[in-house]
Chains A and B, each alone.
Chain A
Amino acid sequence: MIVGIKDTVKLIGITIVACCAVFVCTLFLSYNADLAEIENDITAQTGQLIFQAQKATGTVTVATTGGCLGVTSLILLLFYIKNYIDIHGKQLGILKALGYPNKKIAGHFSVFGLPVFLGCLSGFLAAFLYLPTFYHIQNKENLLPEIPIGFHPLLCLLLVGAPTLLFMLLSVLYANHQLKKPVITLLKEKKETRRTLKNRNNIPFLKNLRKMTLRTKKSLPFFMAFSAFCFSAMTQMAFSMKQLASEDMAVMMIGIGLILAFTTLLLSLSTVIKGNAETLAMMRALGYPDRAGEKAVLGSYRPIAAIGFALGTGYQYCLLKLVITILYTEFDAVQNYHFSFPAFAVSLVIFLLFYEISMIIYKRKMKKLSLKTVMTE
Chain B
Amino acid sequence: MCRIGAIKSKVPVHPSKALHLMLPQQEGYDNSGFAMVMQDLYGVFSQYKDKPLLSMACTREGARLVEEYMDKHHFTQLAAWVPVPDKQPNLNIEALPFYIFRNYDYPEFVKEPEAREALLLDTRLALRRMLEETGEGYVYSFWPDVLTLKEIGDPRDIATYFHLWDDNGCLLAKNIIVQCRQNTNYDIVRYAAHPFFLQGYTLCANGENTFFTKNTEFQKSLFRGYIGFESDSQNFLYTLHYVLHELKWPISYYKHVITPLPFSELAQRPDRDVLMTIRQSLAHLEINGPNTIIAGLPDGRMMTCCDSKKLRPVVVGGDGEMVAISSEVCGINEILPNRDTSKDIYPNEREVVVINQDLEVERWKQ
Do A and B interact with each other, yes or no? Answer: no
Question: Which A residues fall within an 8 A CB radius of B?
Answer: none
Residues in chain B within 8 A of chain A (CB atoms): none
